[in-house]
Amino acid sequence: MPKNGKSEVNSQGLDLEHELPAADNEMQERAESGIAAQPAEPESELQKVRAERDTLLDRLARLQAEFENARKRAVREQQDYREYAVSDTVKSLLPILDSFERALQVSGNNGNDLRSGVELIYKQLQDALVKLGLRQIPAKGEPFDPHLHEAIEMVDTDEVEDHHVLDELQRGYKLKERLLRPAMVRVARNPKS
Task: Kindly report, residue by residue over 57-110, the tens digit of the pLDDT.
Answer: 999 999 999 999 999 999 999 988 887 877 777 788 888 888 888 877 776 667
| Same domain, residue pair 124 and 142 | no
| Same domain, residue pair 75 and 93 | no
How far apart are the two ends of the chain, measured CA to CA in Å?
Answer: 118
| Same domain, residue pair 140 and 185 | yes
| Same domain, residue pair 178 and 143 | yes
Q: Is the pLDDT of residue 54 over 90?
A: yes
Is residue 150 assigned to a domain? Answer: yes
Is residue 184 assigned to a domain? Answer: yes
| Same domain, residue pair 177 and 145 | yes
Is residue 7 assigned to a domain? Answer: no
| Same domain, residue pair 185 and 141 | yes
Q: How many domains does the chain have?
A: 3
Q: Are 169 and 182 in contact (CB under 8 A)?
A: no
| Same domain, residue pair 93 and 66 | no
- The whole-number average pLDDT for the span 154-159 is 88
Choose the most confident range, by mean pLDDT, from 13-22, 112-121, 128-137, 140-149: 140-149
Domain that holds residue 61: 42-83
d(CA 121, CA 98): 10
pTM, whole model, 2 decimals?
0.53
pLDDT given for residue 145 in this prediction: 93
| Same domain, residue pair 105 and 119 | yes
pLDDT given for residue 1 in this prediction: 47
Is residue 149 assigned to a domain? Answer: yes
